[in-house]
């Protein structure tokens, strides 16, 4: 397709580099931006530039942050003895959205994936082991997406940190809310049986 202007062509090319955005969507976005005020378009462009340039990674947990130590790590009210290990920043955001966790995080930056050439040394695993050893952590929770790679990573780290006397756990795998039992895959259903939760124990009168 030919575009009437090199400027719009450049913008479409850049926008269509984003995930899930093809050239048609990019054109729609570009035409939308053209209809905005100059301030609004500039504000969007500058936010994108600043995002990559100004964002920092917490030196403690590797979560994205505005400063050297993120506001979760520097929050005195949070439980420093429980550590949740995640793959990515978006997992921290998702877990924070539940309001069910008040401990600390550790962002690995991925999971072990030999097929993609990602080994333990490319991830923030050494620092996790160091934290577990030095910071007096009592429990490490793995919160990975359900995949072979996630399980492998959890197993690998668990073996390394168990000697430090920490409890190691993983978030539950089971039937998600709203999903019919009959449509659930066999592995999930099998795990949900194995990891059943107890509702009541027998009472002896």
Stretch that binds a copy of itself, among 66-74, 143-151, 174-182, 183-191 (CB under 8 A): 66-74
Contact call for residue 147 and a copy of itself (CB under 8 A):
no
19: contact with a copy of itself by CB under 8 A: yes
| Contact status: 113 vs a copy of itself (CB under 8 A) | no
Cα–Cα distance measured from residue 172 to residue 144, given in angstroms and rounded to the nearest whole number: 10
96 binds a copy of itself (CB under 8 A): yes
Q: Which residues partner with 118 through β-bridges?
A: 113
Binder among 22, 59, 66, 135 for a copy of itself (CB under 8 A): 66
Question: DSSP secondary-structure letter at 130?
Answer: H
Residue 159 is a binding residue for a copy of itself (CB under 8 A): no
> Taking CB under 8 A as the rule, does residue 75 contact a copy of itself?
no
Instruction: State yes or no: residue 186 binds a copy of itself (CB under 8 A).
Output: no
Q: How far is the CB of 164 from a copy of itself (least distance, A)?
A: 27
Q: Which of 68, 74, 90, 136 binds a copy of itself (CB under 8 A)?
A: 90
DSSP state of 67: S
Q: Distance between CA 132 and CA 126 in Å, rounded?
A: 10
CB of 123 to a copy of itself, least distance (A): 15
Cβ atoms of 83 and 140 closer than 8 Å: yes
User: Which residue in 43, 74, 145, 162 binds a copy of itself (CB under 8 A)?
Assistant: 43
Inter-residue contact 101 to 127 (CB < 8 Å) = no
The residues near 111 (Cβ < 8 Å, ≥ 6 apart) are: 87, 118, 123, 144, 147, 149, 150, 152, 153
Q: Which helix (H) or strand (E) holds 106?
A: strand 104-107
Nearest to 170 by CA among 186, 136, 194: 194
The residues that touch a copy of itself, with contacts defined as CB under 8 A, are 1-8, 10-11, 13-15, 17-20, 25, 27-34, 36, 38, 40-55, 63-66, 70-72, 88-90, 92-93, 96-97
């Amino acid at each position: 397709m030919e575009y009437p202007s090199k400027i719009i062509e450049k913008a479409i090319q850049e926008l269509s580099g984003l995930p899930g955005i093809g050239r048609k969507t990019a054109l729609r976005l570009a035409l939308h931006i053209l209809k905005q005020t100059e301030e609004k378009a500039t504000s969007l462009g500058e936010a994108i530039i600043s995002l990559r340039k100004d964002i920092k990674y917490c030196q403690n947990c590797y979560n994205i942050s505005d400063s050297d130590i993120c506001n979760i790590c520097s929050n005195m009210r949070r439980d420093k003895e429980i550590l949740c290990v995640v793959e990515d920043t978006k997992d921290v955001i998702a877990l924070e959205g539940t309001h069910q966790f008040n401990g600390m995080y550790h962002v690995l930056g991925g999971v072990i994936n030999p097929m993609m050439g990602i080994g333990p040394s490319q991830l923030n695993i050494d620092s996790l082991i160091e934290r577990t050893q030095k910071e007096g952590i009592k429990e490490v929770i793995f919160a990975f997406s359900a995949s072979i790679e996630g399980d492998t990573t959890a197993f690998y780290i668990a073996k390394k940190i168990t000697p430090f006397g920490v409890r190691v756990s993983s978030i539950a795998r089971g039937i998600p809310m709203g999903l019919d039992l009959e449509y659930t895959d066999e592995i999930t259903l099998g795990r949900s049986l194995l990891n059943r939760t107890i509702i009541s124990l027998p009472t002896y009168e």
